[in-house]
Amino acid sequence: MEVRGPLMWMFLMCYIFGHIIRSHSNEFVVAKSFSKFEDLEIVKRLKTINKPAVKIIKTIHGERYGCVDFFKQPAFDHPSMKNHNYHYKMRPMRETKINNTGFGYLWENGVGCPIGTVPIRRVTKDDLLRLDSVGDNHKPRGSWNAATTYDSNNANQHHFAVGRTKNIGMKFNGATMELCVTAPKVKPTQFSSSRLHIQMGNDFIQVGMTVNPPLYKDNQPRSFVYTSAGGESCYNTNCQVGIIIVREDFPLGAPSTPVSIRGDKNYYATIGVIKDKLNGNWFLEYGAEAVEVGFWPSSTFHQSFGNVVEWGGEVFSASLPGPEMGYGYFPYLKINDDAYAKHISILDGNFNVDRQLDYIEDFADNIRGYQAVDINNSRIPHAGNIIVFGGPGLK
């Protein structure tokens, strides 16, 4: 018995640690075990995301994407898409710039996926467990329900520093921006994003750049899309309310390089979300030539127009200290020193482009950690209407 007791104890400990999942809480590791049912649910989710691929290709950063048949994307599993009539070459039925811009340079093969397929980032079990470990509080949101506070001990929250449209009953059919690419410092359960947010009633779309270790496992700024619709939510193409990719060469979720250097080199991404006037679908545009890379079917959302829009930073931290935003500094009102969304514009309720935006207000819910300033053309030449934002975080 003296031998059997320690052996049984060792066997039990091995079994427990065999079911441990690392869930980072800043500097800590939390042990969590899963039942057989939960494991089966994770496997089911992985099958939903990682649809069978014609081939696996890699980006220039070595990350794996599956070339999935256009119609087998996760978003086509949505009940509203049962009788779809979409085509992989579908484009918005409106005037756009004619261009031959491609994203082949982002792939090892210099091309991307074969025609008729689209690249869907491969997701692992560890990816899902890492994201699940931070819970619903970690999910992106808009600033309109945030209360202004100056309490530096206010932890376990989202914080915002944005320029946003006033809630005065206007209707919006899209928005655009040129977004500065920065790499704020964050800890394992935090995120810091620079993004465009369009609220449509209770639903919304976010697009931009994020440093988000639970989502991407590292601290690089990466492109992201977040959709919240009908009580469901989704990063990128990871579920049925996610975006539908239409380009065979656009790697959503890939690292955004190079990164801006404060006071020196300035790099930005041109991003827009535009509703098509005829079919009501919302298109994601990317790059200086406004290339349509994906869309959300009109049936995804319960409201056909946006009622409020915001540009700027959002952070989340489960505990103090709070993460950096932008460059990690408060705005200096100088374009080479500030994180920004410049040349912001709105597609109004009549589908007219508005660049004046005299109905914008700047908002920060905790100015001890984060600040934003809305600046017009006269203050920073050649930047249009610009939102500068950032901050060192909460200590």
The answer to whether residues 281 and 93 touch, using CB atoms and an 8 Å cutoff, is no
pLDDT band at 149 (very low <50, low <70, confident <90, very high): low
The answer to whether residues 262 and 325 touch, using CB atoms and an 8 Å cutoff, is no
What domains appear along the chain, each with residue ranges and CATH number? Answer: 149-390 (2.60.120)
- Tokens representing 141 are 């949101």
Rounded to 5 degrees, φ, ψ at 13 are -65, -40
pLDDT band at 84 (very low <50, low <70, confident <90, very high): confident
pLDDT digits (tens, 9 = 90+) for 5-36: 554 444 444 443 344 344 444 433 343 555 66
How far, in Å, CA of 239 to CA of 237, rounded?
6
Percentage of residues in the chain having pLDDT higher than 90: 73
The answer to whether residues 221 and 267 touch, using CB atoms and an 8 Å cutoff, is no
Q: At how many degrees (to 10) do helices 125-132 and 36-49 cross?
A: 110
Provide the 10 A C-beta neighbour count for residue 106. 18
- Smallest CA-to-CA distance from 370 within 178, 184, 160 is with 160
pLDDT digits (tens, 9 = 90+) for 92-120: 433 333 344 589 999 999 999 999 999 99
The predicted pLDDT at position 377 comes to: 73
- Smallest CA-to-CA distance from 24 within 140, 192, 187 is with 187
pLDDT digits (tens, 9 = 90+) for 235-264: 999 999 999 999 999 999 999 999 999 999
